[in-house]
Amino acid sequence: MSKVRVAAFSVSIDGFGAGPRQSLEAPLGVGGEQMHEWMFPTRTFKRMFGAEGGSTGTDDRYAARSFENVGAWILGRNMFGPVRGPWPDEEWKGWWGDEPPYHVPVFVLTHHARPSLAMKGGTVFHFVTGGAEAALTLAKEAAASKDVRIGGGVSTIRQYLQAGLIDEMHLAVSPVLLGHGESLLGGLDMPALGWRVSESESEGTAQALHLVMTREK
């Protein structure tokens, strides 16, 4: 059965999913990149960008699992780029170069319309102005029997959580303290929303604690 899920989403020990002041120089916010250091050495991450080698332990297993059976993605506009307000032009095509690592349709939440953007490797960005539920409907249609992955950022995940539209979340808790930024679960009563921790795993060489949460319907 297909799911709507968050996977391989990094958070700091103090609960932040992004640093403050996202910019072209700091795509994950100031200090945010250090939360993702568990993934950078993995074989899965290196293969995403055409490199060889990489680690094959627990971190890589969860990184690889995050891409399994994904038929479509949903991203908030900030995950697509640092441009704010109306699109000045169509020059910005994302953070990832000519061949993004998605290889499936990606639905970007935005208040400002823009034509769909086809990239190398099968990624097509669709810009959705009708809101989160409209984007999910389109993503489910595009994914067919596969999963829809909510890629972030924090505000997008919180929006889907509060609407009860996510089935499963894998969080990679990195051993870093940000002190400030965007809180992922702050103010949310997760047990009241039906969530429980179904998996918890780390080991000697892992650089993150991997938590999988599922929602009881």
148 has a pLDDT exceeding 80: yes
- Write out 111-154 in H/E/C secondary structure: CCCCCCEECHHHCEEEEECCCHHHHHHHHHHHHCCCEEEEEECH
Whole-model pTM: value is: 0.94
85-136 pLDDT per residue, tens? 999 999 999 988 999 999 999 999 999 999 999 999 999 999 999 999 999 9
CB 129 within 8 A of CB 115: no
Q: How far is CA 88 from CA 57, 84, 92, 113, in A?
A: 44, 9, 9, 11
Q: How far is CA 40 from CA 34, 87, 208, in A?
A: 10, 31, 12
Q: Please give the residue that has the higher pLDDT: either 41 or 1.
A: 41
Q: What is the mean pLDDT of residues 36-44?
A: 95
Domains in the chain: ranges and CATH: 4-82+100-210 (3.40.430.10)
Packing angle of the helix pair 154-162, 132-143 (nearest 10 deg) = 90
Predicted pLDDT of residue 1: 78
Residue with tokens 């910019």: 23
CB 173 within 8 A of CB 199: no
| Per-residue tokens: 14 | 């103090």
**CA 142, 146, 152: angle at the middle one, nearest 5?**
75
Mean pLDDT score across all residues of the chain? 94
